[in-house]
Amino acid sequence: TIAGQISLILQNHNYNMTHTQNTLSFEHALQDAFLCLEDGCEKLLVGAADEHIGILDNISEKIGYKNIQLTSGASFFILSNKSSRVRVLNAASFGLFNSLSERAEDFFSESKIDLRGVDLILYSTLNENNADEILSLFEGIPMLNFEKYSGIYFTNSAFAMHFAIDILERGRKQFNGMTIDIKRVLICNNLNSQNLGLILLEKVET
């Protein structure tokens, strides 16, 4: 695995885990990192990587992704409890969920933030039913389909987090000719109709 190769190159023999939970692998890695930070770890390298190889086309068709051109991508982050320009407020994953709206409400309640307390939504349009529910739930909040930039691969929510951090560090984004301030970004990983990943990020005021 990529994680194993990185640890060998760095000669780092500390805790090393690879998560393979379909489209929720990156969210599981983030949640694992949070547990490590709570357990006293100072810094963690967390990321996701997907390489498009031929066998994935056959696998993707069997799990419902027909006529979709998969691509490759990798994004890595250093997480710590020390101050930074961007804070990951919460990350969660839901499998075989019944209601996207209910899961989102629970997520925001746990995060102690109002459901409308975000300035930008990054989401996927590949799954039309979930995309429509997201558009309805967060109506009026600016939204971007991050797949236009990342392409489609099973951990592209990691790219969305990188994208969100870039936007938050700049602090502003143009939408429909208007410039708006961006302080919080929600990433909705709705690539798979049966899975939902949510990541909430916030700009740290200095």
Mean pLDDT within 182-196: 93
Side chain identity, residue 105: E
Mean pLDDT within 77-86: 93
Question: Half-sphere exposure of residue 126, counting CA atoms within 13 Å on the CB side?
Answer: 29
Query: What span, in angstroms and rounded, lies between the C-alpha atoms of 2 and 7?
Result: 9
Crossing angle of helices 128-137 and 100-111, rounded to 10°: 50
- pLDDT band, residue 69 (cuts 50/70/90): confident
Mean pLDDT within 138-153: 93
Mean pLDDT within 117-128: 91
How is residue 61 written in tokens? 């068709």
Q: For residues 154 and 191, is the Cβ–Cβ distance under 8 A?
A: yes
Lowest-pLDDT choice from 17-21, 47-51, 60-64, 138-142: 60-64
Q: For residues 199 and 123, is the Cβ–Cβ distance under 8 A?
A: no
- pLDDT band, residue 196 (cuts 50/70/90): very high
Query: What span, in angstroms and rounded, lies between the C-alpha atoms of 97 and 94?
Result: 6
Closest by CA to 143, choosing from 129, 123, 161, is: 123
Report pTM. Answer: 0.93
- pLDDT band, residue 58 (cuts 50/70/90): confident
Provide the pLDDT for residue 197.
96
Mean pLDDT within 72-94: 95
Query: What span, in angstroms and rounded, lies between the C-alpha atoms of 141 and 130?
Result: 16
Helices of type H across 53-197: 54-62, 100-111, 128-137, 147-150, 156-170
Q: For residues 28 and 155, is the Cβ–Cβ distance under 8 A?
A: no
How is residue 77 written in tokens? 């982050």
- pLDDT band, residue 66 (cuts 50/70/90): confident
